[in-house]
Amino acid sequence: MKLGFDFSGPFLSGHGSGPLDDPDEEDGARRYRAIFISDLHLGTPGCQAVALLEFIRTHPSDYLYLVGDIVDGWQLRRRWYWPQSHNDVVQKLLRRARKGCRIVYVPGNHDEFARGFIGHQFGGIEVVADTVHTTADGRKLWVTHGDYFDAVIQCAKWLAYLGDNLYEFTLRLNRHLNHLRSRLGLPYWSLSAYLKHKVKKALNYVTEFEVAVAAEARKRGYDGVVCGHIHRAEMRSIHGTLYCNDGDWVESRTALVEHHDGRLELLQMATGHERLEVAQRHLALNS
């Protein structure tokens, strides 16, 4: 069953409330040359839409790459979930495009329906299969979601659907757990991230994925790769090829940014009950 969207309907209507009513929310914000975000999973309760809106509002850029799994078509097929905050995210992105930011959308496996629109633009947002970003210091980075390097997705899609359902269950359990932790004055804690780090096979899967994606980028003659898919923010050199994963906006709330001198850095949106701040992770790499 394919999932379709009416791009002329309320999804792009421009009606809404909240952050979109701020006239010049970008004034005074630090501007980046490029920002890469992925795995927003709009359409699921796990999407951290409020934090994402705050991040977009306070982090303007010349380029914005949406590196797949922006809308979760898998979950929306099972149950429709689309609160106002998710609509606000879409409207915020469209507004950013209207204000001159070049937005490039590389669909992933959860929003594979968008691959049917490759080569088209919607509200100024370009839809492409993959793309190449050249940094200010001349490095060529291949931008791809990464699901083509996932053997489960390619060879046993039913297992991927099962894993997705189990992941959603873990996220629901995690929300209840963190609600209790919040009442006790304890910080946010990710159950699924904990399980990933404890299960050896999961760690092996992550490592094999990272090596495979970096190897393909090297084979294509690029200096590095930017991807998403596995919900694990990372930036490191693999056999001389720069591997960057921008993480996700379900748990880690991370983004990869390029400064105007070409320097790359991972940013993480800090958790907080009164106000959201950006905690810079000192993972910057220079050429």
pLDDT digits (tens, 9 = 90+) for 15-31: 333 334 444 455 567 89
Distance separating alpha carbons of residues 56 and 65, to the nearest angstrom: 12
* Cα end-to-end span (Å), the chain: 45
What pLDDT, on a 0 to 100 scale, did the predictor assign at position 269?
Answer: 87
Confidence of residue 176 (pLDDT cuts 50, 70, 90): low
Annotate 164-218 with three-state secondary structure.
HHHHHHHHHHHHHHHHHHHHCCCCCCCHHHHHHHHCHHHHHHHHHHHHHHHHHHH
The distance from CA 19 to its chain's CA centroid, rounded to whole angstroms, is 20
The distance from CA 175 to its chain's CA centroid, rounded to whole angstroms, is 20
Class at the top of the CATH hierarchy for domain 10-280:
alpha beta
pLDDT digits (tens, 9 = 90+) for 243-277: 999 999 998 899 999 999 999 999 998 765 334 44
pLDDT digits (tens, 9 = 90+) for 57-69: 999 999 999 999 9
User: Does position 34 have pLDDT exceeding 90, yes or no?
Assistant: yes
Contacts of 165 (CB under 8 A, 6+ apart): none
Confidence of residue 202 (pLDDT cuts 50, 70, 90): low
What pLDDT, on a 0 to 100 scale, did the predictor assign at position 278?
Answer: 46
The ranges assigned to domains in the chain are: 10-280
User: Does position 235 have pLDDT exceeding 50, yes or no?
Assistant: yes
